């Protein structure tokens, strides 16, 4: 099992085990919101904003792959 949070609050790093978080670029999102609001007309496409993940101990190892038996 894994636990992941958003916003990379400083508490996430100090927890034991350390909490994996996604860092939200607040300044970039705010600037982008102002840019979009100032653009007349509908949006041409979705806007993707990259966000970094700070992987800490709260992410577990992936489960082993299990083969499913199928009848012959």
- At 38-59, the pLDDT tens digits run 888 887 788 899 999 988 888 8
- The per-residue pLDDT of the chain, averaged, comes to 83
Per-residue pLDDT, averaged over 12-32, amounts to 89
User: Of 22-26, 62-66, 68-72, which gets the smallest average pLDDT?
Assistant: 68-72
Q: Which is more confidently placed, 43 or 28?
A: 28
Of 27, 35, 8, give the one whose Cα is nearest residue 19. Answer: 8
∠ Cα 17 49 24 (to 5°):
35
Higher pLDDT, 24 or 10: 24
How many angstroms separate the CA atoms of 6 and 24, rounded?
7
The residues spanned by each domain of the chain are: 4-54
Judged against a pLDDT cut of 70, whether residue 65 lies above it is answered with no
């Amino acid at each position: 099992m894994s636990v992941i949070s958003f916003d990379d609050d400083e508490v996430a790093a100090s927890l034991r085990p350390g909490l994996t978080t996604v860092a939200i670029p607040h300044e970039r999102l705010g600037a982008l919101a102002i840019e979009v609001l100032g653009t007349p007309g509908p949006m041409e496409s979705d806007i993707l904003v990259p966000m970094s993940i700070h992987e800490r101990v709260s992410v577990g190892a992936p489960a082993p792959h299990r083969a499913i038996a199928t009848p012959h």
